[in-house]
Amino acid sequence: MNNRELIDKAAAEHKLSKEQLVSILSDISTDDYLFQTADKVRQKYVGDEVHLRGLIEFSNICKCNCKYCGLRKDNHYVTRYRMDIEEIIRLASDAKEYGYKTIVLQSGEDSFFTKEKMREIISELKQMDFAITLSLGEKTYEEYKAYKEAGADRYLLRIETTDKNLYQKLHPGMSFENRIQCLKNLKELGFETGTGCLVGLPEQTIDSLAEDILFFKKLDADMIGLGPFIPSYGTPLEKETGGTLIMSLKVMALTRLLLPDINIPATTAMETLSPNGRITALQSGANVVMPNVTDDEHKKNYAIYPGKAGLNNTPEEYRKTITAKITAIGRKISQGYGFHIRQEIDPL
């Protein structure tokens, strides 16, 4: 079978072997066909609605030292901040006014936010009728359980790479097994579970990207967020070459073919590499956008990588701009919570 036929087969059966994934990922001649096919599969399974999630980056303090990340503990160039609960609630009420139905709470791995503090924040947001997504890193089973009981709906924890050797090199003091265990715990607790990877990490191979996609399928993830690695100042990888938008879109499009009904965001890192990156992603398999609703002062210090898209827009402006862009490509802004609805998986 040639790669075009393989793409058709994946669109119909939602299965590909590692060798087949590698073959498509290595072929530039079928990129457009892959993107168009992922777009069709997206339309068939999750429709034309785009779900907007309001992102609050409430603390950039992190005890981890991930080698690629600008917020790593040893990066002393960062001005650190932590919001208090009032501030988080204020940003969430603004987001409510702009029409957001989901709040994504994201932070570094900041031990200041104990189980009790998180429970309080989650309960407050829940009373405001938000669906709540958390992205706080690796926590204990008991902590995840407490978040769930307080009303959190979803949790994002990227595996970053399924190449265990590379994972261990990039994450000093962390363990690949624990990361997998965290994902299993989240699933067991009934969270809509999101994971994802970085594309274009130093030493990452096409083979390992294929493994990443198979891992998403095996985990039976509800959401997959992925994007290019962008070298960040003040990190050990600052002089490395980053990932490309095209390769990120290819991994994303293949993920759509294999997991046809999940939620897939057009990520900020994609927009950072190209002014139209998010829209291109929405036309290549994505169905979610996560606009930043953090205030300017804090947003500029949440510098995971340089040139992060959206730094020059207020949340209100961004909401207007993205709505116009989404409408212009014939898509609609969803008025619902946008949960993962499992579909009967059948051929196109």
Interacting residues with ligand SF4 between 136 and 175 (CB under 6 A): 137
Under rule CB under 6 A, residue 144 binds ligand 5AD: no
- Give min distance, CB of 260 to ligand 5AD, in A: 23
Under rule CB under 6 A, residue 55 binds ligand SF4: no
Interacting residues with ligand SF4 between 169 and 228 (CB under 6 A): none
Residue 113 binds which of ligand 5AD, ligand SF4, none (CB < 5-8 A, kind-dependent): none
Residue 198 binds which of ligand 5AD, ligand SF4, none (CB < 5-8 A, kind-dependent): ligand 5AD
Six-digit token pair at 243? 């990932």
Rounded Cα distance between 49 and 331, Å, is 6
With respect to ligand 5AD, which residue has the nearer C-beta, 41 or 170? 170
Q: 3-state secondary structure string, the chain?
A: CCHHHHHHHHHHHCCCCHHHHHHHHCCCCCHHHHHHHHHHHHHHHHCCEEEEEEEEEEECCCCCCCCCCCCCCCCCCCCCCECCHHHHHHHHHHHHHHCCCEEEEEECCCCCCCHHHHHHHHHHHHHCCCEEEEECCCCCHHHHHHHHHHCCCEEECCCECCCHHHHHHHCCCCCHHHHHHHHHHHHHCCCEEEECEEECCCCCCHHHHHHHHHHHHHHCCCEECCEECCCCCCCCCCCCCCCCHHHHHHHHHHHHHHCCCCECEECHHHHHHCCCHHHHHHCCCCCEECCECCCHHHHCCCCCCCCCCCCCCCHHHHHHHHHHHHHHCCCEECCCCCCCCCCCCCCC
Number of residues this chain uses to bind ligand SF4 (CB under 6 A): 9
Number of residues this chain uses to bind ligand 5AD (CB under 6 A): 12
Interacting residues with ligand 5AD between 66 and 105 (CB under 6 A): 68-69
Which of these segments, 62-70, 262-270, 306-314, 320-328, binds ligand SF4 (CB under 6 A)? 62-70
With respect to ligand SF4, which residue has the nearer C-beta, 7 or 55? 55
Interacting residues with ligand 5AD between 194 and 233 (CB under 6 A): 198, 227, 229-230, 232
Query: What would the x/- binding string for ligand 5AD be over residues 254 to 283, using CB under 6 A?
Result: ---------------x--------------
Pick from 34, 66, 146, 279 the residue near ligand SF4 by CB under 6 A.
66
Residue 108 binds which of ligand 5AD, ligand SF4, none (CB < 5-8 A, kind-dependent): ligand SF4
- Give min distance, CB of 174 to ligand SF4, in A: 8
- Give min distance, CB of 108 to ligand SF4, in A: 4
Under rule CB under 6 A, residue 69 binds ligand SF4: yes
Interacting residues with ligand 5AD between 155 and 184 (CB under 6 A): 158, 160
Q: Minimal CA–CA distance to 40: which of 68, 10, 18?
A: 10
Sign for the CA dihedral angle at 83, 299, 285, 103 comes to: positive
Cβ atoms of 266 and 279 closer than 8 Å = yes
- Give min distance, CB of 151 to ligand 5AD, in A: 22
Under rule CB under 6 A, residue 109 binds ligand SF4: yes
- Give min distance, CB of 110 to ligand SF4, in A: 9
Tell me whether residue 112 is exposed, middle or buried, using C-beta atoms within 10 angstroms of its C-beta: 0 to 12, 13 to 18, 19 or more: exposed
Interface ranges with ligand SF4 (CB under 6 A): 62, 64, 66, 69, 71-72, 108-109, 137
Interface ranges with ligand 5AD (CB under 6 A): 68-69, 158, 160, 198, 227, 229-230, 232, 269, 304-305
